[in-house]
Amino acid sequence: MKEGYIGILTSGGDASGMNATIRAITRSAICNGYKVKGIYRGYEGLINDEIRELTTEDVSNIIQRGGTILKTARSKDFETPEGRKKAYEVMQKEKIHTLFVIGGDGSLTGARIFAQEYDVPCIGLPGTIDNDLWGTDLTIGYDTALNTIVECVDKIRDTATSHERIFFVEVMGRDAGFLAQNSAIASGAEAAIIPEDQTDTDQLEEFIGRGFRKTKNSSIVIVTESPTGKGANYYAERVKREYPQYDVRVTILGHLQRGGSPSAGDRILASRLGCASIQAMMEGQRNVMIGIRNDKVVYVPFAEAIKKNKPIDKSLITVLNELSI
């Protein structure tokens, strides 16, 4: 066995497949002669020394479970230099030589700053339903959330059709439209309103302009949640005001999108990236996110993964428009 431990934490919003990732990192590490410690409650637990060793048995029977056995948090303390200093001291005390961070852009931003300040090797794994990290085609949890949304929209379609209504369905994604755009295609929705398409007026007008009831007796518009208040309710109110002849309803899917057993795709992605993260450490890589591009594992420097806006393929908008006539 090698000296010291690797440390694993999950941070930010949970995502299905985080447990599969913890399992993969732990088992691959042990296979390669490393010892593993689990850090509870993200960076908060690192600061507060909520840490214990993980064995292969500790990660048995979790590949199929949503959430994260390590718990998660968005740590305000870690945003301060004092908090990060404490975190570093705890790492020294616990003999953790490399930190594995599973999370989204906020979590990887934290890892980047920490790595720079204390010269600590950090390896990131993209765990977020939003799919918004640059440099990886997919993030762990996205596929499961997408499938959950599609299942819900299928159900909404039944009632929408029976009552001949327009539904605005709000999905998560923070400021990224991957969940909205692709769930709209997969569920046969009539339109998606996404932040990447800046002309939001046009998005709604175009949908209305197409005459949603010409050939159909229900319509579903998937809307990305909005920090500026332009979510599903905003569009529903506008349609009610401007087109009072339409019968409009809103469904906000909320946190159910984050739960549930991970899809096979997410379990495989988590397993591949988890093993690759240990390989990366053994190759001397540090301060990189392990991603997947064209079905090949890639190492993406933190600075790139978090700084660049991951673009949505605009041809997806055409696909949706053509197929929702």
Q: Does residue 182 belong to the site contacting ligand F6P (CB under 6 A)? A: no
Binding residue (CB under 6 A) for ligand F6P from 7, 13, 231, 274: 13
Q: Please say which residue, 112 or 258, places its beta carbon nearer to ligand F6P.
A: 258
Q: Give the sign of the dihedral formed by CA 170, CA 171, CA 176, CA 181.
A: negative
Which DSSP string corresponds to 129-193? TT---TT-S--BTHHHHHHHHHHHHHHHHHHHHHHT-EEEEEE--TT--HHHHHHHHHHT-SEEE
Q: How far is the CB of 105 from ligand F6P (least distance, A)?
A: 8
User: Among residues 172, 191, 222, 306, which is the contact residue for ligand F6P, using CB under 6 A?
Assistant: 172
Binding to ligand F6P in span 75-104, by CB under 6 A: 104
Size of the site for ligand F6P (CB under 6 A): 10
Pick 27 or 258: Cβ nearer ligand F6P? 258
Structure token pair of residue 181:
């755009």
Q: Which of 7, 173, 195, 262 binds ligand F6P (CB under 6 A)?
A: 173
Q: Is 130 in the site for ligand F6P (CB under 6 A)?
A: yes
Q: Which is nearer to ligand F6P, 72 or 98 (CB)?
A: 72
Q: Are 9 and 45 in contact (CB under 8 A)?
A: yes
Q: Which residues contact 314 (CB under 8 A, 6 or more apart)?
A: none
Residue showing tokens 């959950």: 148
> In the complex, what is the shortest distance from the CB of residue 129 to ligand F6P, in angstroms, rounded to a whole number?
5
Binds ligand F6P (CB under 6 A): choice among 35, 41, 174, 310: 174
Q: CA–CA separation, 144 vs 17, rounded Å?
A: 8
- Is residue 127 a contact point for ligand F6P (CB under 6 A)? no
Q: Which listed residue (14, 105, 130, 266) is catalytic?
A: 130
Annotated catalytic residue 14? no
Residue 189 CB, nearest approach to ligand F6P (Å): 19
Give the span between the Cα atoms of 53 and 58, in whole angstroms.
Answer: 9
Piece in contact with ligand F6P (CB under 6 A), picked from 128-136, 158-166, 239-247, 284-292: 128-136
- Residues with Cβ within 8 Å of 272's Cβ and at least 6 positions away in sequence, in order, are 24, 292, 297
Query: Which of 238, 203, 240, 233 lies closest to 324, judged by CA?
Result: 203
Question: In the block, which residue shows the tokens 């296979």?
Answer: 31
Contact 11, 105 (CB under 8 A): no
Cβ proximity to ligand F6P: between 7 and 13 the closer is 13
For the CB of residue 49, give the shortest distance to ligand F6P in the complex, in Å. 24
128 binding ligand F6P? (CB under 6 A): yes
Residues marked as catalytic: 130
Catalog residues that contact ligand F6P under the rule CB under 6 A. 13, 104, 128-130, 172-174, 225, 258
